[in-house]
Chains A and B, each alone.
Chain A
Amino acid sequence: MLNNKRNALLFILSFLALAFPMVGTALDRTDISGLASEHVMERLKAIDKIALVGDSDALRLLKELQNSELLVTDTGQIVLENDDWDVIDAITLEMLDPQPDTYNTVIVNNRMRSQLESAVGVLQLLSDDREIRLTSAKSLRDNLSPLLLTFLNKALAQESDEEIRRILQESQSIILLDSPDEQERIDAVNYLTSSSERRVRELLVAKLEKNESGEFEEVSAEVRVAIEFAVTAIDRKLTFIDYFGRLFSGLSLGSILLLAAMGLAITYGLLGVINLAHGEMLMIGAYATYVTQQLFVNYLPSYFDLYVLAAIPMAFLSSAIIGVVLERTVIRWLYGRPLETLLATWGISLFLIQLVRQIFGAQNVEVSNPTWLSGGVEVWNIVMPLNRIAIIVFAALVLIGIWLLISQTRLGLFIRSVTQNRSMAACVGVNTAKVDMLAFGLGSGIAGLAGVALSQIGNVGPDLGQAYIIDSFMVVVLGGVGQLAGTVYAALGLGVFSKFIEPGVGAVLTKIIILVFIIAVIQKRPQGLFALKGRSVEG
């Protein structure tokens, strides 16, 4: 975290430049000529030189460099393109005459990008815009140097925003850990006790270690006691945050499993059809999302961010229609013959995969997250991605929707009656064939909805469904065939369970443990964890 050598020169001088902003000399061409070099270290030096100047022109150049807008001609002159595609000098902004034929982008690699971030951070920490100050404070925290102390003090004195103050104070305390004054060190440690950053903890722990000559890094015993107390406090918080993180990822995984399995809970659970093409219904939903996205790109580019919402009915309808067609043409002839259904739906699944491969190609297609689903919310240093939060909410909404449909509507009543006693339902006048068709279409449509969700977190390719078919069956079988509540418990339970054991045993072993666990449960309770009881359960 502390990087003394790397940025020392940059920080001293940029601080001076900031303290006396009017005195800084203007940029000239020799300052930036290093950017044309093919050596990264030369280009880094040029960034330092620009930052040293520290005026508004320098800031502009650094930002242009960050955005890869700076170009270099064959003669090594640094230039820009203006809005009319004319080449202009990067400093004077004057049009080049004659215009050069060829030029390349100034190459910026990761190392330069982080140098740029901290340089821009220093130059903007006193900006008027809160957001800019916040980003600057964060980028400084990642590249601290003791030479920044005076500068941080100055920024702190001016800063009124709580969040930024906290970051700056934390940075200040980290620097003060190396202060020669014992009291200052103790104050710094005491401040850091409230931190919940793992990096701060590592830094404190390092102070408790002995160096080569056998002395503690931190000489004062009193400070060491304070550090030990701080480390315990931070550890306590970190453990809590860790469990919170696991719970969130477990819920997220669970909600995805739930979405994938809910459709199957209807087709397999209620109708008793072993539908191996269920995964392909997910895949079709995801491709429907892709097609909707492309339509928005081509016809409604200004409403692009809303394409996901439009994709929800699209995906539901396309999967549901294909489901109904399947039911009418193949599956209805096979009711009550599980083995034949299994083979037929497996064939259909292969057929659908290859069909999609022929139409859309074998490669994955790109479904991008709309801006309101990109990034995440940070809570206690855990970033909860917005797309995952949205999927949890979406799964809950779909679940409520299905529950209302099954328990409150006439169709739901028919589905329940056919499930419980087909012949009796037929006797009292329920059109069982139509109910079968609609129920199968409903299950497929829900799978299509799951496809929309899956397109936001992973691949959209012909094989998408294959990855989820086993998991879906696992959830439905574990939860107990024939009822929705069991599916919900099983999906969330499996999600949270696997996320709690994964950090300890690794992803490969987790998968194995889950499978063994399910086998054990099925041995003990062949009807699943939450089996229906009573007369309605037929052989």
Chain B
Amino acid sequence: MNRKQFIKTVIGATLGISSAFAMTAQAEETIKVGILHSLSGTMAISETALKNTALMTIEEINANGGLLGKQLEPVVVDPASNWPLFAEKARQLITQDEVDVVFGCWTSVSRKSVLPVFEELNNLLFYPVQYEGEELSQNVFYTGAAPNQQAIPAVEYLMSEEGGGAKRWYLLGTDYVYPRTTNKILRAFLISKGVEESDIEEVYTPFGHSDYQTIVADIKKFSAGGKTAVVSTINGDSNVPFYKELGNAGLKATDVPVVAFSVGEEELRGIDTKPLLGHLAAWNYFMSVKGKQNRSFTKMYKAWAKKNGVPNLDTVVTNDPMEATYVGIKMWAQAVEQAGTTDVDAVRDAMGGQTFKAPSGFTLTMDATNHHLHKPVMIGEILPNGQFQVVWSTKTPIRAQPWSPFITGNESKQGL
């Protein structure tokens, strides 16, 4: 075959294949759904499970007949833990792939990076992770917790008699926007509860910090002055060396309890949890929650993981952001059914007041004004098997306050 012939054949084949694709696409029309989670880079550890959950939920909807008589078609992209790439990939999903909705993001900085894209192109983002608040967008639905649905109840619990009656507070976090804002809110909250400035210590570590010797020694020193609790907003990978140091230094939860806002079942998979007995986490869902909804949710995920050959599948777990992803997609599907269309404005209107019986066992409602879910708050203690035992929980879901009353300048936004 000479060169000309070869090129001809290649072009011919390509055209043939692409037209065949175009025909199948026309034959069965689908609703395209974007999934924007990092599958490589530092955040892959947390976000891969959310991509899996999203795919599982979409399969479940498709197996039950799809939406408006059409099948859902997931479009998965990998923004590779690279914040500017998030914006690029979001634009690509909306303009080239023409998706009707996007589920994605984990870190606040990635959300901030895609926000202008969604507002400019008027599309919808469902954000499934707990965050620092101080944001509202017509184009985003927040299915994770705002600070008043996680951080503040956790601190109140540790202050209470049954939680151990902590008097001194060591606020420890990774140096970026979520810990800084959360600690600002917590500091104001603690002071409003009569805690002295000298009884609050705020400490930050760089991203990827792995040597916690000095900090653990410092916590020990600080706790000599009275019953101390540590509030940890350490992010991602740094948690493992922190907890390992804590365990080896002999600091037990009965001496100094550590409550974490970014540590769930998934993060504990990489740690030997025996020395961590009794340390706490605050979330809106735990895998160990009892009830029919959760049983079927965890069963469905384990089956999906097995079918798709997820690595280490005998130890797969479910966690709070996964539940929030699941709830987000199901609520969006309900809203689409109700609106009868995937049109962004119609779906947005239908989302307000949407309710869903979540795996947490509570019926969650999407707030029509602030786009945040009403969520129950649960506090769990770490068990030796890496699961959490719920030791405290609200009786009903709580409405989110994205604009915290503990930050000055937010007074006018309390109605939201």
Mark A residues whose CB is within 8 Å of B: 39-41, 44, 68, 105, 107, 109-111, 113-114, 117, 142, 197-199, 201-202, 245-246, 249, 252-253, 256, 353-354, 357, 359-366, 368-369, 374-376, 378, 382-383, 385-388, 457-463, 466-467, 499, 502-503, 506-508, 511
Cβ contact within 8 Å between B269 and A364: yes
Alpha-carbon distance A363/B312, docked complex (angstroms): 9
Decide yes or no whether B271 CB sits under 8 A from chain A.
Answer: yes
Decide yes or no whether B122 CB sits under 8 A from chain A.
Answer: no
- Pick the most buried of B41, B211, B237, B269: most chain A CB atoms within 10 A of its CB: B211
Known: A110-B381, A113-B253, A360-B312. A374 touches B214 (CB 8 A): no
Chain A nearest CB from B167 CB (Å) reads 12
Chain A nearest CB from B278 CB (Å) reads 5
Interface residue total, chain B, C-beta cutoff 8 A: 61
A-B contact count (CB 8 A): 163
Cβ contact within 8 Å between B240 and A383: no
A201: which B residues are within 8 A, CB to CB? 224
Q: Which single member of B39, B175, B249, B272 contacts A368 (CB below 8 Å)?
A: B272
Alpha-carbon distance A499/B213, docked complex (angstroms): 9
A109: which B residues are within 8 A, CB to CB? 162-163, 278, 381, 391-392
Which residues of B282-337 are within 8 A (CB) of A? 310-312
Q: Mark the stretch among B65-73, B191-199, B201-209 that contacts chain A.
A: B201-209
Chain A nearest CB from B122 CB (Å) reads 33
Cβ contact within 8 Å between A357 and B40: yes
Q: Which single member of B241, B391, B392 contacts A458 (CB below 8 Å)?
A: B241
Mark B residues whose CB is within 8 Å of A: 39-42, 44-45, 48-49, 161-165, 175, 203-206, 208-211, 213-215, 217-218, 220-221, 224-226, 237, 240-241, 244-245, 247-250, 253-255, 257, 266, 269-272, 275, 278, 280, 310-312, 381, 383, 389, 391-392
B203: which A residues are within 8 A, CB to CB? 506-507
Q: Which single residue of chain B is at the shortest CB-CB distance from A373?
A: B248
A461: which B residues are within 8 A, CB to CB? 45, 237, 270
Cβ contact within 8 Å between B241 and A362: no
A198: which B residues are within 8 A, CB to CB? 220-221, 224
Chain A nearest CB from B273 CB (Å) reads 9
Cβ contact within 8 Å between A107 and B389: yes
B254: which A residues are within 8 A, CB to CB? 110, 113-114, 117
A-B contact sample (14 more), CB < 8 A, given A109-B162, A353-B40, A507-B204: A44-B162, A109-B392, A110-B257, A111-B161, A197-B224, A249-B213, A364-B237, A366-B270, A368-B272, A378-B250, A459-B237, A459-B240, A463-B42, A463-B237
Cβ contact within 8 Å between A111 and B214: no
Alpha-carbon distance A199/B218, docked complex (angstroms): 14
A256: which B residues are within 8 A, CB to CB? 211
- Pick the most buried of B205, B245, B248: most chain A CB atoms within 10 A of its CB: B248
Cβ contact within 8 Å between A110 and B278: yes
Q: Which single residue of chain B is at the shortest CB-CB distance from A246?
A: B214
Alpha-carbon distance A413/B312, docked complex (angstroms): 46
Cβ contact within 8 Å between A362 and B312: no
5 contacts between A and B (CB under 8 A): A44-B162, A110-B254, A369-B272, A376-B248, A459-B237
Cβ contact within 8 Å between B162 and A365: no
Known: A361-B311, A366-B272, A499-B214. A459 touches B241 (CB 8 A): yes
B391: which A residues are within 8 A, CB to CB? 40, 107, 109
B226: which A residues are within 8 A, CB to CB? 202
- Pick the most buried of A109, A114, A375, A460: most chain B CB atoms within 10 A of its CB: A109
Cβ contact within 8 Å between A362 and B48: yes
A502: which B residues are within 8 A, CB to CB? 214
A364: which B residues are within 8 A, CB to CB? 45, 237, 240, 269-270
Cβ contact within 8 Å between B162 and A41: yes
- Pick the most buried of A39, A107, A111, A375: most chain B CB atoms within 10 A of its CB: A111
Cβ contact within 8 Å between B45 and A508: no
Known: A113-B278, A458-B240, A508-B205. A359 touches B311 (CB 8 A): yes
Chain B nearest CB from A280 CB (Å) reads 14
B269: which A residues are within 8 A, CB to CB? 363-366
B224: which A residues are within 8 A, CB to CB? 197-199, 201-202
Cβ contact within 8 Å between A202 and B213: no
B218: which A residues are within 8 A, CB to CB? 503
